[in-house]
Amino acid sequence: MNSSDHGTPQGTRTGRTPPHLVTLVMLAGLSAMTMNIFLPSLPRIADHFQIDYKVVQLSVAAYLAASGALQLFIGPLGDRFGRRPVLLFSLVVFLLATLGCLMAPNFQVFIAFRILQAAIATGMALSRAAVRDMYEGDRAAAVMGYVTMGMSMVPMFAPMLGGVLDVWFGWQASFWLLFSFGLGVFAVTWIDLGETSKPSGLSLMRQFGEYPDLLTSPRFWGYCMAAALASGAFFAYLGGGPFVATEVFHLTPAQFGTFNATAGCGYFFGNWATARLATRVGMNRLILIGTIIITFGMILSLGLAYGEIGSHYAFFGGMVFVGLGNGMIVPSANAGMLSVRPHLAGTASGLGGAMMIGGGAALSALAGALLSPESGHFPLIWLMLACGIGGMLSILAVMRREARLAAL
């Protein structure tokens, strides 16, 4: 599907055509797949390198932390040199890092290359910036909804596929799949992705100098916190879900991969709702609805857990609400933070992504630290509930400020 199907894009800055939505979906999808396809293989990776399971869990938090730190540079680099060259370079780094993970002789080398795989975070950040280059306002939120709706198919099925590959071929199979998909995405990006942004011509130091213009905006902070806390609930699940599945509910990798699809299903339908409703409902109200859904879902999940009802079916079923809420919040909040200073779309995407993923890394590590076989899954649900409530307060602050400014 071409981006022109949803309105007239503003055009590209080179002779190439504007990128198709499929290309942007593939870039964002590879980033999502890298994040979660190997989760069912964590126990086998621990056995392979003969280390404690909780140490292997750090590969999730370390990847997220590296992605968050990288976001700070992705935006300025994308604004300085353009989206296309930065994306192509990051894909090459990702492919080399994936081979490094496969050939690692010990866990220290493995996690070093795993951190380098975070280079693919540019796919998520700059695909959003490319959408904002071509569209504006609620239309940008709607198109981002279509992009993330297509991307959401990846986290829906990737862990399930990773679990099956782990059972049949071992943990390395997931990384070989990442390498193959990465090669395909590189080829498609090379052929299809026209440059959507005119390089700024500013030095990187000047680009970083634009950060205060964003950081002094209450609206930018409100959108960032709404996105960070909502996605933080999901990242907390990424950090704690494998432990809960393995140590609390004693599920196999293939079973965990199957149950893990619930969050992806919710995310898909949340993105679909955003794509369909953003221009009519408005991004602020969609964000508020999404935070209410996450909060309600976690209250329900807590009630079932304390009532000892439903076991793992209730726990993983509750993740539908987390995915659904994120699908409504993240595209709209991203469109909101990029609209605060349109001329700094790439920088805003990188800075907002750093806050979102960096916060997610901290919550992922916190979830892993809080959980134990004795605690069960309760700390994880409480943590996700707190994220839902925090996200709700953040977007309410944005809406209150906009109402106050409109009244002046």
DSSP annotation string for 293-331: HHHHHHHHHHHHHHTT-SHHHHHHHHHHHHHHHHHHHHH
High-pLDDT (> 90) share of the chain, %: 19
Mean pLDDT of 348-364: 76
d(CA 196, CA 86): 12
Question: Residue 15: what pLDDT?
Answer: 45
Q: Quick check: 363 and 235 in contact, CB under 8 A?
A: yes
pLDDT value, residue 143 = 72
Residue 157 covered by a domain? yes
On the question of pLDDT at 212 being above 50, the answer is: yes
Residue 15's φ and ψ, nearest 5 degrees, are: -75, -10
CATH number at residue 347: 1.20.1250.20
Predicted TM-score (pTM) of this structure: 0.68
Number of folded domains that form the chain: 1
DSSP 8-state assignment for residue 375: T
Residue 14: band (very low, low, confident or very high) from pLDDT cuts 50, 70, 90 = very low
Cβ neighbours, 10 Å, residue 396 = 16
User: Is the pLDDT assigned to residue 12 strictly greater than 60?
Assistant: no
With cut-offs at 50, 70 and 90, classify the pLDDT of residue 1: very low
Q: Nearest CA to 170 among 258, 61, 40?
A: 40
In a domain, 4, yes or no: no
Confidence band of 149 (pLDDT split at 50, 70, 90): low
Query: 175 lies in a domain?
Result: yes
- What was the pLDDT predicted at 103? 92
What confidence score (pLDDT) does residue 3 get? 40
The pLDDT of residue 382 is above 80: yes
Q: Give the pLDDT confidence of 48-92 residue by residue, as tens digits.
A: 888 887 788 777 778 878 887 887 787 777 777 778 888 899 999
Residue 1 lies in a domain: no
Cβ(323)–Cβ(369) under 8 Å?
A: no
The arithmetic mean of pLDDT across residues 223-248, rounded, is 84
The pLDDT of residue 13 is 47
pLDDT for 193? 80
**Does residue 13 fall inside a structural domain?**
no
Least confident of 5-9, 24-28, 124-128, 138-142: 5-9
Higher pLDDT, 134 or 175: 175
> 12 lies in a domain?
no
Closest CA to 32 of 73, 63, 1, 70: 63
Helix (H) or strand (E) holding 64: helix 53-81
**Is the CB of residue 387 less than 8 Å from the CB of residue 229?**
yes
> Nearest Cα to 364, choosing from 244, 239, 233?
239
The pLDDT value recorded for residue 300 is: 93
9, part of any domain: no
Cβ neighbours, 10 Å, residue 408: 4
Give the model's pLDDT for residue 7: 44
Do residues 108 and 62 make contact, with C-beta atoms less than 8 angstroms apart?
Answer: no
First to last CA, the chain: 43
> Which residues form the domain of 128?
19-196+203-403
Q: For residue 349, which phi and psi values (nearest 5 degrees)?
A: -65, -45
